[in-house]
Amino acid sequence: MYDLINYLWETGLNLLFSPEIFEPLVFPGLIAAFSLLIVVIWLERKIAAIIQMRYGPYYISRHTEGALQLVADLLRFLFSEVIIPKSVDKIAYVLAPIILFAFTFLPIVVIPVSKDFAAIDHEYSLLIALALMTLYSSFLLIVSWASNNKFSFIGGLREGFLSLSYEIPLIISALSAAVLFDSFNLIEIVEKQAAMGWGIFYNPLAAIVFLVVIIYSTSRYPYEIAEAESEIVIGPFTEYTGILFGLGMGISYIKLYSMSLLYAVLFLGGWEPVVWPLNLHPVLPGIILFIKAFIIVAFSVFLRAVYPRYRIDQALRIAWWKLFTLAFLSLLFSYGIKIIEVMG
């Protein structure tokens, strides 16, 4: 009997700590993302409050400066009624935000935590991550279309326009990192960076373009265009209530998190440097990766306190003229570095 329990315990533990389960569910997947969501939204509101000379979240858990405010908000979302308007396409209306939320998580699965710990260690894992990221906008379009609301529709349309314009610079700037490190495998890219130095120093142009695209594509200010409150209420999620609306609020943060993880892997040296207590277990270097991603996330949400929002035509012009050109230049830059390497 004892042996059986012991056996089950061991296999259960092994299963839990196998990368295929641990990555999507615990770290850097679901649980880590949710705790980051809580911390980041609190941080966003607190930073904005400090700049704007007010208290920010305060009343829920006063000793922690209102850190549990978002938990309270989520609980409220859970218990408030989900109103499904008569005019909506019911199946799409309910399922689309849930599927959207799930798909926003997916890119995290291919992002390795350390060189021995990856759920999917594939030769083309960078391309898989990029491909999964592009699913976001199509489901947001379904959300907005299913709502049967003019504001949602305009919001969805705007997101559609924006996604067409940001995806190309996103992919080109990611590819210039791939060219630089001669690989599509995220683990190899980090290994190369450990040997050569961080990608941001080799190709700062690509790093800047990618960072702007992160801010652009996750509706952070000044590109908070698809859900511009004073124009189109809250964009695609105008008709939503209760926990479905809560999901909608969280989605852009989850996307921001997954893109920041990819940014840390491509340009900030991933989980390097692996120093003493971190080399005890293959999961532990992930902490470094998480911290790097967190800095990117915190920077992105900080911009709320600095900028107003662009108009959609201005944002599209920036994407097609500046970002697209710069991304292309960064690709040439990477080739230039490669040529210099080969020649000399």
Partner 1 sequence: MSEEGYMLLQIGPQHPGSGHMRMLVKLDGDVIVDFIPDVGYVHRTVEKIAETKLYIQNIPLLEKPILNDSGNANLAYIIAVEKLLDVEPPPRAQYLRTIMAELSRIASHLYGIGILSILIGSSTGFMWAFGDREIFIHLMQMMSGARITYSYMVPGGVRRDLPDQFREEFRKAARYMRRRYKDYEKIIIKNPVTRARLEGVGVLSREKAIEWGTVGPNLRASGVAYDVRKVEPYAAYEDIDFEIAVREEGDCYARLLVRFQEIMESLKIIEQALEKIPNGKILAEKYEKMIQPRAKKLVEGTGRIKFPAIYVNLKPPKGEVFSRVESGKGEITVYLVSNGSPKPYRLRFVTPSFRNLLTFKNLIPGHRLADFPAIYGSLDYFPPGADR
Q: Which residues bind partner 1 (CB under 8 A)?
A: 48, 51-54, 150-151, 154, 221-222, 224-225, 228-233, 304-314
Least distance (Å) between residue 68 CB and partner 1: 23
Choice between 221 and 263, CB closer to partner 1 = 221
Choice between 90 and 311, CB closer to partner 1 = 311
CA atoms 218, 213, 232, 309: torsion sign: positive
**Residue 77 is encoded by which pair of tokens?**
């979302």
Choice between 230 and 273, CB closer to partner 1 = 230
Give the span between the Cα atoms of 116 and 140, in whole angstroms: 35
Give the span between the Cα atoms of 92 and 97, in whole angstroms: 8
Distances (CA, A) of 343 to 75, 182, 336, 339: 61, 16, 10, 6
Least distance (Å) between residue 224 CB and partner 1: 6
Least distance (Å) between residue 160 CB and partner 1: 13
Where are any strands of DSSP class E within the chain? none
Instruction: Tally the residues of the chain.
Output: 344
Helix (H, G, I), strand (E, B), or coil: what is residue 44?
helix
Choice between 100 and 214, CB closer to partner 1 = 214
Least distance (Å) between residue 55 CB and partner 1: 11
Structure-token match 């590109």, residue found: 223
The DSSP letter of residue 306 is T
Least distance (Å) between residue 300 CB and partner 1: 15
Give the span between the Cα atoms of 191 and 185, in whole angstroms: 10
Choice between 153 and 202, CB closer to partner 1 = 153
Least distance (Å) between residue 51 CB and partner 1: 6
Choice between 111 and 228, CB closer to partner 1 = 228
Helix (H) or strand (E) holding 264: helix 242-267
Choice between 268 and 312, CB closer to partner 1 = 312
Residues 256 and 297 sit within 8 Å (Cβ to Cβ): yes
Least distance (Å) between residue 44 CB and partner 1: 11
Contacts of residue 156, defined as CB under 8 A and 6 or more positions apart, other chains included, come to 140, 141, 143, 144, 145, 226, 235, 236
Q: Which has the closest alpha carbon to 262: 179, 184, 205? A: 184
Choice between 178 and 232, CB closer to partner 1 = 232
Residues 176 and 323 sit within 8 Å (Cβ to Cβ): no
Least distance (Å) between residue 103 CB and partner 1: 28
